[in-house]
Structure 1
């Protein structure tokens, strides 16, 4: 199930009209939970990302120890360490999923109006989000729009200044034959045609930014 479906299923009062669990109403991490989405939401997202990173490091450490224990014949210990590693992996995924829910909820109205901002997403999350928003628009579940504006940024804050989300999104749009145009930090998708995409815009700019 797509990452944004549970958000789109909620009605104006915040109630969930489907079977999806409302992440924001479940106090799974009381030491991190903030009761009302507000300007402090960004700080909450950062804490969730930090929590996920801690669990990722624990997962890697425990996985390595489990492998070492197994190779040296301590299979019972290896099994225990492996279980602990997978528990940390699940906690990592849960924290990241909650962060994504918050990122999407922040811009729900903008998404309804045909604009999605991918700042703060990891690459896989960004692709999932784009896929689900495009599907929602095509199915008519969101406000009728002729185009979707995807804000990818220029990758200036990426590792080594190399954009990751922008080329990944372009690759997804090409694979699924969307028509789109490029401009600095933005991709505009034509929702009226399924023709093979023909990027428009300055070709030199595309080479530098994509």
Structure 2
């Protein structure tokens, strides 16, 4: 029976994507780790030089640390974008797969997806977080992080009873939390219906952590101080002009003009 079942050709060469065996993903993450280690090294050297009173050396080491921090950021960004695209190329419109992302990367991208889902009046979102099989010591990190994100944002969520690696997030009637105003809604997590993963959008990550871009239009409460300052300056200018005109000589001239007008009326 086994021999019979093993016969025949595979009609499809497609395989489920697994980031754990993806060399490109592994290379990018390792490059980021090495750059981060260099950043840590030069940061320590900078602090040591500063304590020894060598300001020039401290500055030099600090600049090196910043250089490697930026390098680590770039590699982690590339890895996050790459693995997210690979995982979501064939995803359904209401699915998002967060496998292979660091916790804060996943949280930021998920915020983008939720914002777009609410804007499109979607009913729910199935968030694939996994069971922690690839996590250190087999302890799941993404699922509790996503649950916490949803709970803090007031989004109803529950584990799919048929698959414990999937978290279902209710979007019907949900509102975008005000605390998410600094999330760029047009990033890689937008995943519109016609093209699940935009190729030309980039989610900017900083050292494995999301860099949250503000909306182009700043919130109104941030514009108020500028308005108040302008209004105060205008009032001060008007007050200054009044003081310049309100002199004894000008008052005398005004009184003479007033008397002349009264004489004409009579």
TM-score of the superposed pair, with normalisation by structure 2: 0.54
Q: Offset at 1:39?
A: 9.4
- Once residues 138 and 84 of structure 2 are traced to their aligned partners in structure 1, the CA distance between those partners, rounded to angstroms, is 25
Larger-gyration structure (1/2): 2
Runs (5+) with no aligned partner, structure 1: 1-37, 196-210
Task: Structure 2: state its 5+ residue gaps.
Answer: 1-16, 176-266
CA contact (8 A) 2:28 2:76 kept: yes
1:131 offset after TM fit, Å?
Answer: 0.5
Residues 1:164 and 2:141 are matched in the alignment: yes
Task: Determine if contact 1:178/1:193 at 8 Å carries over to the other structure.
Answer: no
Is the Cα–Cα contact under 8 Å of residues 113 and 145 in structure 1 kept in the other structure?
no
- Do the aligned residues in 2 keep the contact of 1:65 with 1:78 (CA within 8 Å)? yes
Question: Structure 1 residue 136: deviation in Å?
Answer: 1.5
Distance in 2 (CA, whole Å) between partners of 1:127 and 1:39 is 20
When the two chains are superposed, the root-mean-square deviation of aligned CA atoms in Å is 2.3
2:38 is matched with which residue?
58
Matched, 1:73 2:50: no
Distance in 2 of aligned mates of 1:83 and 1:42: 33
Q: Is the 8 A contact 1:179 1:193 kept in 2?
A: no
Q: CA deviation at 1:138?
A: 1.6
What SS does structure 2 have at the residue aligned with 1:170? helix
Report the TM-score when normalising by structure 1: 0.67
Q: Distance in 2 between matches of 1:79 and 1:191?
A: 50
| 1:191/1:129 CA distance change after superposition, 3 Å | same
Indicate the larger mover: 103-112 or 62-71. 103-112
Q: Is the 8 A contact 1:66 1:79 kept in 2?
A: yes
- 2: CA distance, partners of 1:51 / 1:194: 40
1:129 aligns with 2:109: yes
Number of aligned pairs?
Answer: 155
